């Protein structure tokens, strides 16, 4: 059964269950308008769904009932007893048919007509029906109220047993006989036993001829607060276990008890895990509404959009899904409204008439990444800056110091999100500040990446669950607090070599490896006073890239904490994100990093400014970039610009395989080329640097990370192409720098299909060409030939020594000339020095791109 049908069955059943009381009540008081409305809504919904799901029988039935009920609502017809019974007959039949959808049972269609006919006005209907019913109602009121309460109770408890309870129904003959019972005058009905029968679950129906075995439903619907109670129960168990563990340790229990306790611990951990998973739902729930929405919006705006959806099977906390729904809707709407151009405009800039919108979800570690990528016009950061200056939220001088990324982030500024700004600039400002605020509230981040003219990529990073977050516990003034780990950049000890405290105009600041950061004293913010001397600085990053250092008295532990929202009166302080109950069962408050910054008087914007002025600028003046220093597998200290490293990860050597001619690393089910300096990997665990170049990924195996230092890279270039680009002194030690170009060429070169590679003719047959130049050219993705006969196709690029003449017929491709000397003297104007790796690589890349374009 497909999902939609399953949902329909589940929903119909649920409504029927909820409605059963209404039906009975309506039976007693047919004039009751609110009951009538509830029943009308039900048949109306069923009718709507049936047309959509192609269930003609159900549709006919519900349509007939709807018509009659509409008449009643419009006062064209008085609901009399016969009509009530007839409607009930139809509703019962709907319930049977709904069950039949799931079991595949067949219910004869012939008597549908009888049911429908019964809905029509009948001359024989007793004129005193309603009055009689009303009289009966008052007389039987108390009995019925009791019966109804009992039913409600049964309904609630019976959920798990529903399969058994329903089992004997929907047999053919019984179904046929049922309407007869229902058409009886109402006055005969209100006996408690009968009430139970019409209450949809019908446990009393006899299992008549050939009861169809009903398929056991594999899914049930549960109220979320029941799950919450289960979760709370498990949390209680964890606390009890911890208490027990402590006592066992104290009493020095014998090993037998310990083994049993271990087993108990294990069971509890597993249970906690699976209950956490019951709260998960597929992201698909979030994505199903998109196609329709995209269709509607694009039709409205006269645009053509192709929607691609990926990764709907990724699972995410139910509540989280609800929290992301609005931001995602917003982003998609913006992408179509302001990103993707009209077909005419697209054709004018050589893009296909219909725009592409790609929405995908994937899990990375403890986070879910939801990406929305469009190929529209992107955001022009400079125009954004111009707008920001004109509305006065940014000064000219400061604008000049902002990097491209920082400029883009202006999109999240509240001042820029007015409707007026939207039309004036490229337009994504519609409530982007709200989008970010919403995502941040659930501990997520929004990344933005824009390529003007080519498109925009927005990434929402959200934690897997709302409830459990990794956190660092710290203390201040004798109290413990938690800080979400996602907000922590690093922790440094005051008094360490790299940390220098200072003061600037009365404000405390700190220099950490040359970067100036504002210092916020947690004790000061909380009003706890400086009871103890702060010993540590926790460097926190705010969204938007700004950072500040929080001075705390002690740093304790990393813990996974179950965080719950605190009471409104506590949240109103503005510096807490929730409460949590660690294992010592003493409540702890989770700090809201942004709130603390605000309270301390360093607003987000101000810090972004400070950051723009100090951090990158100090470095950039000297041309320094942060460089990651590490010890390679062969024990040599090497470095790589930090910007190239996406992340550092530990993985098991078991996930490394030698396949398709090179080592590959299995990361989250994808094979990523693994490059190393060549030394064998002996340890069972290996640390890798993950690098990314557009869609291409690779991993470089290392031994350990040493430090991150700002370095002005002035390499003594390596002469041999290899993993090492060159060497320079960093802090008095020679450090070899990795050649990212070579790494990617190594890692990915083999990914290009040989027949797609452009052909490069190396026309000189000397050892240098063969052994030095050829690998470099091959690494850049070319197929190398040494004479024209080797390839059927003409060479795309010819490389030859400057000064040698070349037959003109080779001119099919471009020619690149290499000269012997470094100086241009004596060589042709367009020739390159043959050791100019960079120039050479640029040329190779240029021709490669030309050819593949």
For the CB of residue 5, give the shortest distance to other proteins in the complex, in Å: 35
Q: Which residue has the tokens 């269709």?
A: 295
**159 touching other proteins, by CB under 8 A:** no
* DSSP class of 337: I
Residue 518 φ then ψ, to 5°: -70, 145
**Tokens 């010993």 belong to residue:** 535
d(CA 174, CA 398): 82
Cα gap 517→260, rounded to integer Å:
52
Pick the stretch among 99-107, 578-586, 795-803, 826-834 that binds other proteins (CB under 8 A).
578-586
568 near other proteins, judged by CB under 8 A: yes
Shortest Cβ distance from residue 457 to other proteins (Å)?
A: 37
**List of E strands, 349-417:** 355-364, 367-374
Nearer to other proteins, 214 or 279 (CB): 279
**3-state DSSP of 748-775:** HHCCCCHHHCCEEEECCCCHHHHHHHHH
Residue 677 C-beta: closest distance to other proteins, Å:
51
Question: Helix, strand or coil for residue 566?
Answer: coil
Shortest Cβ 144–other proteins spacing (Å): 22
**DSSP strands (E only) in 288-438:** 305-310, 315-317, 355-364, 367-374
* Two tokens, residue 372: 């929305």
Q: If binding means CB under 8 A, how many residues of this protein chain bind other proteins? A: 31
Query: What are 524's two structure tokens?
Result: 């000061």
Instruction: Specify the residue, 411 or 466, whose C-beta has the smaller distance to other proteins.
Output: 466
Torsion of CA 572, 574, 576, 578, to 10 degrees: 40
Does residue number 268 form part of the binding site for other proteins (CB under 8 A)?
no
Total count of residues recorded for the chain: 853
**Residue of the chain from 236, 296, 557, 696 that contacts other proteins (CB under 8 A):** 236
Pick one of 155, 452, 477, 663: the residue that binds other proteins (CB under 8 A).
Answer: 477
CA-wise closest residue to 538 among 626, 612, 611, 476? 476
498 is a site residue for other proteins (CB under 8 A): no
Residues 719 to 758 in contact with other proteins, rule: CB under 8 A:
none
- Shortest distance in whole angstroms from residue 520 CB to other proteins: 14
Any contact of residue 569 with other proteins (CB under 8 A)? Answer: yes
Nearer to other proteins, 228 or 489 (CB): 228
Q: Give min distance, CB of 434 to other proteins, in A.
A: 24
Concatenated DSSP letters for 114-182?
Answer: HHHHHHS--TTS-TTHHHHHHHHHHHHHHHHHHHHHHHHHHHHHTGGGHHHHHTT---HHHHHHHHHHH
Cβ(91)–Cβ(16) below 8 Å: yes
Contacts of 533 (CB under 8 A, 6+ apart): 553
Residue 570 binding other proteins, by CB under 8 A:
yes
Residue 164 in the binding site for other proteins (CB under 8 A): no
Decide: is 585 part of the binding site for other proteins (CB under 8 A).
Answer: yes
* β-bridge pairing 716-717 and 588-591: unpaired
| Residue 319 half-sphere exposure toward CB, CA atoms < 13 A | 18
Proportion of the chain in helix, strand, coil states, percent, rounded to 5: 45, 25, 30
Interface with other proteins (CB under 8 A), residue from 294, 442, 482, 589: 589
CA-CA distance, 429 to 105, in Å (whole number)? 55
- Which residue number, 575 or 612, has a Cβ lying nearer to other proteins? 575
The residue within the footprint of other proteins, chosen from 15, 235, 366, 752 (CB under 8 A), is 235
Give the nearest distance from C-beta 603 to other proteins in angstroms: 18
Kindly tell me which of 98 and 579 has the beta carbon lying closer to other proteins: 579
Which of 76, 586, 753, 825 touches other proteins (CB under 8 A)?
Answer: 586
567 near other proteins (CB under 8 A): yes
Does residue 594 bind other proteins (CB under 8 A)? Answer: no
Q: Residues 162, 329, 479, 752: which binds other proteins (CB under 8 A)?
A: 479
Q: Considering only residues 576, 700, 737, 742, which one is a binding residue for other proteins as defined by CB under 8 A?
A: 576
Residue 232 engages other proteins in binding (rule: CB under 8 A)? yes
239 is an interface residue for other proteins by CB under 8 A? yes
Query: For residues 537 and 547, what is the distance between their CA atoms, to the nearest angstrom?
Result: 12
The answer to whether residue 223 forms part of the interface with other proteins (CB under 8 A) is no
> Of 271 and 814, which CB lies nearer to other proteins in the complex structure?
271
C-alpha dihedral (79, 85, 91, 93), degrees to nearest 10: -150
Distance CA 850, CA 853 (A): 5
Nearer to other proteins, 535 or 585 (CB): 585
Nearest to 744 by CA among 694, 679, 783: 694
> Which residue among 457, 513, 564, 692 contacts other proteins (CB under 8 A)?
564
| End-to-end alpha carbon distance in the chain | 46
63 vs 599, beta carbon nearer other proteins: 599
Which residue, 450 or 580, has its beta carbon nearer to other proteins? 580
Contact 835, 776 (CB under 8 A): no
Q: Which of 43, 47, 92, 48 is nearest to 69 (CA)?
A: 43
Q: What CA–CA distance (Å, rounded) separates 324 from 579?
A: 22
Based on CB atoms, which residue is closest to other proteins, 599 or 692? 599
Query: What is the contact mask toward other proteins in residues 52 to 71, using x (rule: CB under 8 A)?
Result: --------------------
User: Taking contact as CB under 8 A, which single stretch among the options 134-142, 235-243, 749-757, 782-790 is the one that binds other proteins?
Assistant: 235-243
Q: Which among 289-297, 575-583, 730-738, 749-757 is the span making contact with other proteins, rule CB under 8 A? A: 575-583
Give yes or no for residue 575 binding other proteins (CB under 8 A).
Answer: yes
Q: Which stretch binds other proteins (CB under 8 A): 58-66, 105-113, 406-414, 522-530?
A: 522-530
Residue pair 579/570 in contact (Cβ under 8 Å)? The answer is yes
Give the integer Cα–Cα distance in Å for 224 and 179.
37
Q: How far is C-alpha 394 from the chain's CA centre?
A: 32
Cβ-defined contacts of 238-241 (< 8 Å, 24+): 238/268, 238/272, 238/583, 239/581, 239/583, 239/585, 241/265, 241/268
Q: Which CB atom, from 82 or from 590, has the smaller least distance to other proteins?
A: 590
Using CB under 8 A as the criterion, what x/- string covers residues 422-461 for binding other proteins?
Answer: ----------------------------------------
Check residue 343 for interaction with other proteins (CB under 8 A).
no
Residue of 158, 165, 208, 581 that binds other proteins (CB under 8 A):
581
475 binds other proteins (CB under 8 A): no
Cβ-contact 709, 513 below 8 angstroms: yes
Strands of the sheet with 704-711, listed across from one edge: 704-711, 625-631, 637-641, 733-738, 724-730, 716-717
Between 237 and 345, name the residue whose CB sits nearer to other proteins.
Answer: 237
Q: Which stretch binds other proteins (CB under 8 A): 35-43, 90-98, 568-576, 710-718?
A: 568-576
Smallest separation, CB 565 to other proteins (Å): 8
Instruction: Choose between 120 and 585: whose C-beta lies nearer to other proteins.
Output: 585
Pick between residue 127 and residue 569 the one whose CB is nearest to other proteins.
569
Q: What is the DSSP letter of 695?
A: T
Contact positions with other proteins (CB under 8 A) in 596-615:
599
**Separation of alpha carbons 560 and 554, rounded Å:** 18
Binding residue (CB under 8 A) for other proteins from 526, 546, 561, 773? 526
Does position 552 bind other proteins by CB under 8 A? no
Residue 350 to residues 343, 346, 355, 454, 846, Cα–Cα distance (Å): 10, 6, 12, 11, 21
Tell me which of 56, 146, 352, 587 binds other proteins, using CB under 8 A: 587
Q: Kindly list the residues in this chain that would bind other proteins in the complex (CB under 8 A).
A: 232-233, 235-236, 238-239, 477, 479, 525-528, 564, 566-570, 572-573, 575-576, 579-581, 585-589, 599
């Amino acid at each position: 059964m497909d999902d939609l049908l399953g949902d329909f069955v589940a929903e119909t059943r649920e409504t029927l269950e909820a409605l059963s009381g209404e039906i009975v009540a309506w039976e007693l008081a047919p004039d009751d308008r609110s009951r009538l409305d509830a029943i009308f809504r039900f048949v109306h919904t069923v009718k709507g769904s049936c047309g959509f799901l192609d269930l003609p029988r159900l549709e006919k039935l519900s349509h007939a009932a709807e018509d009659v009920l509409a008449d009643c609502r419009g006062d064209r017809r008085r609901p009399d007893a016969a009509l009530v019974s007839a409607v009930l007959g139809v509703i019962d039949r709907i319930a049977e048919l709904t069950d039949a959808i799931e079991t595949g049972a067949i219910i004869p269609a012939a008597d549908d007509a009888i049911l429908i006919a019964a809905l029509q006005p009948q001359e024989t209907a007793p004129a005193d029906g309603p009055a009689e019913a009303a009289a009966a109602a008052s007389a039987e009121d108390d009995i019925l109220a009791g019966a109804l309460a009992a039913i409600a109770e049964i309904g609630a408890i019976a959920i798990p047993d529903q399969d058994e309870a329903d089992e004997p129904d929907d047999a053919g003959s019984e179904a046929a006989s049922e309407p007869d019972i229902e058409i009886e005058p109402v006055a005969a009905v209100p006996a408690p036993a009968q009430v139970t029968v019409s209450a949809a679950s019908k446990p009393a129906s006899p299992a008549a001829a050939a009861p169809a075995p009903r398929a056991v439903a594999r899914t049930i619907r549960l109220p979320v607060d029941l799950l919450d109670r289960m979760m709370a129960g498990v949390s209680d168990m964890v606390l009890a276990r911890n208490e027990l563990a402590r006592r066992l340790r104290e009493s020095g229990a014998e090993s037998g008890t310990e083994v049993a306790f271990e087993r108990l611990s294990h069971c509890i951990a597993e249970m906690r895990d699976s209950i956490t998973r019951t709260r998960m739902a597929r992201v698909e729930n979030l994505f199903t509404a998109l196609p329709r929405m995209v269709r509607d919006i694009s039709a409205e705006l006269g645009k053509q959009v192709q929607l691609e959806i990926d990764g709907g099977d990724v699972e995410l906390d139910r509540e989280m899904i609800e929290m992301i729904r609005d931001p995602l809707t917003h982003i998609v709407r913006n992408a179509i409204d302001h990103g993707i151009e009209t077909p005419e405009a697209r054709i004018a800039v050589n893009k296909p008439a219909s725009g592409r919108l790609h929405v995908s979800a994937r899990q990375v570690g403890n986070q879910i990444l939801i990406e929305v990528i469009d190929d529209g016009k992107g955001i022009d950061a400079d125009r954004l800056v111009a707008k920001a200056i004109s509305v006065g939220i940014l000064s000219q001088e400061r604008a000049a110091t902002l990097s491209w990324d920082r400029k883009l982030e202006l999109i999240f500024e509240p001042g820029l999100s007015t409707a007026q700004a939207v039309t004036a600039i490229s337009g994504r400002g519609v409530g982007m500040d709200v989008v970010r605020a919403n995502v941040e509230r659930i501990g997520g981040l929004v990344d933005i990446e824009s390529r003007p003219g080519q498109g925009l990529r927005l990434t929402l990073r959200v934690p897997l669950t709302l409830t459990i977050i990794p956190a660092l516990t710290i203390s201040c003034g004798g109290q413990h607090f938690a800080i979400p780990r996602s907000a922590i950049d690093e922790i440094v000890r005051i008094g360490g070599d790299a940390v220098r405290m200072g003061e600037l105009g009365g404000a405390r600041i700190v220099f950490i490896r040359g970067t100036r950061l504002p210092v916020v004293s947690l004790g000061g913010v909380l009003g706890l006073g400086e009871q103890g001397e702060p010993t540590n600085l926790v460097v926190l990053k705010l969204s938007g890239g700004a950072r500040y250092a929080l001075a705390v008295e002690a740093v304790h532990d990393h813990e996974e904490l179950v965080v719950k929202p605190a009471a409104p009166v506590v949240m109103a302080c503005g510096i807490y994100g929730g409460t949590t109950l660690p294992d010592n069962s003493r409540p702890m408050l989770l700090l809201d990093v942004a709130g603390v910054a605000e309270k301390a008087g360093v607003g987000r914007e101000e810090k972004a400014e400070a950051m723009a002025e100090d951090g990158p600028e100090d470095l950039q003046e000297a041309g320094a970039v942060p460089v990651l220093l590490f010890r390679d597998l062969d024990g040599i200290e090497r470095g790589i610009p930090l910007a190239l490293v996406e992340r550092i990860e530990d993985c098991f050597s078991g996930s490394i395989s030698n396949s398709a001619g090179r080592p590959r690393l299995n990361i989250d089910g994808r094979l990523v080329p693994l490059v190393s300096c060549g030394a064998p990997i002996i340890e069972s665990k290996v640390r890798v640097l993950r690098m990314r170049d557009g869609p291409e990924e690779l991993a470089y195996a290392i031994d350990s990370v040493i430090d991150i230092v700002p370095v002005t890279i002035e390499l003594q270039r390596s002469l041999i192409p290899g993993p090492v680009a060159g060497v320079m002194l960093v802090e008095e030690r020679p450090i070899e720098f990795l050649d990212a170009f070579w790494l990617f060429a190594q890692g990915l070169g083999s990914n290009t299909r040989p027949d797609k590679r452009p052909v490069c003719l190396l026309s000189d047959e000397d050892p240098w060409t063969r052994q030095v130049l050829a690998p470099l050219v091959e690494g850049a993705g070319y197929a190398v030939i040494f004479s024209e006969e080797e390839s059927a196709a003409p060479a795309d690029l010819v490389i030859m020594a400057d000064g040698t003449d070349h037959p003109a017929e080779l001119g099919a491709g471009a020619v690149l000339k290499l000269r012997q000397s470094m100086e241009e003297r004596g060589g042709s104007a367009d020739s390159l020095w043959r050791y100019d790796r960079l120039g050479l690589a640029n040329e190779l890349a240029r021709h490669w791109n030309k050819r593949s374009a």
